[in-house]
Structure 1
């Protein structure tokens, strides 16, 4: 419960113009009852033993459900939770430093991934680094491979909206709150609170609305197979990144394009990179497969000019 005396003091400090007040993020009360028109999402966060989803392991899984409207308004938050898991290898000191999770904390612990999948159901899953979290989750909890995913880190242009960092804690500070970031479930509550706020700060459009617009859109990943070596600097300057093929995907320069940018980019590749109607590989990306290892890569013939 908010102390009115403390709030009055905080208001005085803020009114002076010489101080900024940070408020601790509070967990919403239990008992929210959604209306029929509302949709359910789950904010998810994992802590792991490392960065490789093929070799490293999940040591903590946190999920917090929330309800939203098509307008992007977040209507309510449910009580979430987290679970710890003992990995096969000892948790390193670096991982403990980053996550706050020690070997003693996970000793003898296990995560019921079947129960976790039931808890998530068919909800939209939101993560603040879905490119990392989804690949781990699909390995350890394959029941969630058919869920739609969205990334609050990469699908909201935080810098364009005036934020100095896309880190959760820094966005929270910009919105005037702080939280204990050493536990995954706290990151989930913070992420939901941030999605409920305006972008830019105080703006009329919520971050959730921006995220939904991106998640519901289709984009394309394109690999410029066989692009001449001497064109690599042009591709790099245009935003292409190099893939070495070690993950089983094409060894080539690649880029992600939205619907509007696809055909103009094909024209650019034909005229400025290949000089002819080349064949490249592409993959459609949407909320069902975005950030997943499960990509349906096909060959695409760039039309002649």
Structure 2
């Protein structure tokens, strides 16, 4: 359980008592964002991970603009344990036109919040440039906006905490950031970029046992099986995979492909069904294509540098 020293001790005593009753579920508010560095405050030796979230004027990176970005750097040892983390850096930006009312409702941002504001492009590129891996909870979304705004960051490795952690296998329902945090007993204020980065940081530091593992003689998970969600994400991101592309698949095979878990890529330059699988699953996919009389697919090896694009 995370440290609760930021909460009122008297209220915590009541919460602890109430938590013993199976008819109640206790949610605690996350502490205010803070940083923690060892030594003299400089970055430690280790892997650097950048957590990022963006707020935008639309869902389409080709036609919209970023109006808020937040970045948090953290450093990890070779096992994925946290060594230290910087404060959250965030910027607002005036898009040059009034916000759609729906965007204001979702983000909580108003035109007056953004008036005259600008993102520090040099600082953003410098922060990302220190990172060995960029992490977002909806990676495919944030990646497109960031590479469009800062093309010099194209090709950096990304990992998605929403898609690359097997939340259902760990016993959690849904994949939304706030709901996952609540299932761990915590809550935060959603949707602003800095708040969502802080939520993601805390979610990824939660420790749970790996699924489907053996237990000790008392039926308890062994300590060696307990890992943070960030450790799981690092493992998944580093694992090579293969993109199976059903190029030229006949139209009447679309239902079979959908049932198999393939998704339609509607990009004008592509337009095919595709699915990403682990390297050891490729042969089974090729056999499935032959059995269903679908032309052999193209197979593209994928790493974190290509994934989610």
* Structure 1 residues 15 and 75, CA gap change in structure 2 (3 angstroms): farther
* Structure 1 residues 79 and 180, CA gap change in structure 2 (3 angstroms): same
Select which of 54, 62, 73 maps to 1:54.
62
The residue number in structure 2 matching 1:6 is 11
Show the 5 A alignment for 1:137-216: 137-199=146-208, 204-216=226-238
Give the drift of 1:199. Answer: 3.8
Give the drift of 1:279. Answer: 5.7
Give the drift of 1:35. Answer: 7.8
The residue number in structure 1 matching 2:26 is 21
2:174 and 2:251 mapped to 1: Cα distance?
35
**3-state SS, counterpart of residue 205 of structure 1:** strand
Give the drift of 1:71. Answer: 2.4
* Structure 1 residues 279 and 17, CA gap change in structure 2 (3 angstroms): closer
Give the drift of 1:117. Answer: 1.1
2:67 and 2:189 mapped to 1: Cα distance?
19
Give the drift of 1:75. Answer: 3.5
Asked if residue 255 in structure 1 is aligned to residue 282 in structure 2, the reply is no
TM-score (norm 2): 0.85
Moved over 4 A (4+): 34-37, 200-203
1:194 and 1:11 mapped to 2: Cα distance?
21
TM-score (norm 1): 0.86
**3-state SS, counterpart of residue 191 of structure 1:** helix
Give the drift of 1:156. Answer: 0.6
The residue number in structure 2 matching 1:269 is 289
Select which of 32, 52, 73 maps to 2:37.
32
- Which is further off, 115-124 or 20-29? 20-29
2:111 and 2:209 mapped to 1: Cα distance?
41
1:122 and 1:270 mapped to 2: Cα distance?
46
The residue number in structure 2 matching 1:243 is 265
Asked if residue 227 in structure 1 is aligned to residue 235 in structure 2, the reply is no
CA offsets 1:120-142 (integer angstroms, 9 cap, x no match): 22311110000000010001022
2:245 and 2:143 mapped to 1: Cα distance?
22
1:134 and 1:74 mapped to 2: Cα distance?
24
Give the drift of 1:51. Answer: 1.0
* Structure 1 residues 28 and 48, CA gap change in structure 2 (3 angstroms): closer
**Is the Cα–Cα contact under 8 Å of residues 36 and 84 in structure 2 kept in the other structure?**
no
Give the drift of 1:212. Answer: 0.7
**3-state SS, counterpart of residue 80 of structure 1:** strand
Aligned positions, number = 287
Structure 1 gaps, min length 5: 293-305
**3-state SS, counterpart of residue 50 of structure 2:** strand
1:27 and 1:126 mapped to 2: Cα distance?
21
**Is the Cα–Cα contact under 8 Å of residues 130 and 151 in structure 1 kept in the other structure?**
yes
**Is the Cα–Cα contact under 8 Å of residues 286 and 297 in structure 2 kept in the other structure?**
no
Show the 5 A alignment for 1:113-124: 113-123=121-131, 124=133
CA offsets 1:38-66 (integer angstroms, 9 cap, x no match): 32211100001111111111110001112
User: What do you get for the CA RMSD once the two structures are aligned?
Assistant: 2.2
**Is the Cα–Cα contact under 8 Å of residues 32 and 78 in structure 1 kept in the other structure?**
yes
**3-state SS, counterpart of residue 227 of structure 1:** coil
Select which of 205, 217, 220 maps to 2:239.
217
The residue number in structure 2 matching 1:104 is 112
